[in-house]
Amino acid sequence: MKNNKSCIESHSGCVASAMAIVGSKWTALILRDLADGSKRFSELERSLIGISPKTLSQRLDELEKHEIITKKHFHEVPPRIEYTMTEKGLDLVPLLKQMANWGSKYYNSDFSNL
């Protein structure tokens, strides 16, 4: 019997590795918003109805740690910080588009406010 993983993964652990980064609740939605360009914390918070500031901060820190996004500080008053996807992060955009296509095909109206 053929190993079913081989049609998706080139070697075992690829999907698990990706999910370790993008599989947390809210992460894909944060990336969806950042795919359109740099955003400030408050812009992301407004866009992601229901996310707590603590969770947003944690997810942004995780994405920065994995070099999916960068955080740029502007020395202004008041201080401004913008989050931007890196090249590594932009490589996730086709995956997000595929997720959106799948979601569109099997649309569930319970999630329309996200």
pLDDT in tens, 71-90: 999 988 888 999 999 999 99
pLDDT-derived band at 104, boundaries 50, 70, 90: confident
d(CA 54, CA 34): 18
- Where do the structural domains in the chain lie, given as residue ranges? 25-107
The Cα-based distances of 111 to 42, 58, 65 in angstroms read 21, 22, 29
Q: Cis ω on the peptide bond leading into residue 78 (within 30° of 0)? A: yes
d(CA 28, CA 47): 13
The CATH architecture one would assign to domain 25-107 is: Orthogonal Bundle (1.10)
Q: Which residues contact 103 (CB under 8 A, 6 or more apart)?
A: 111
Q: Considering the entire predicted model, what is its pTM?
A: 0.85
Q: What is the pLDDT of residues 24-66, one digit of tens each?
A: 999 999 999 999 999 999 999 999 999 999 999 999 999 999 9
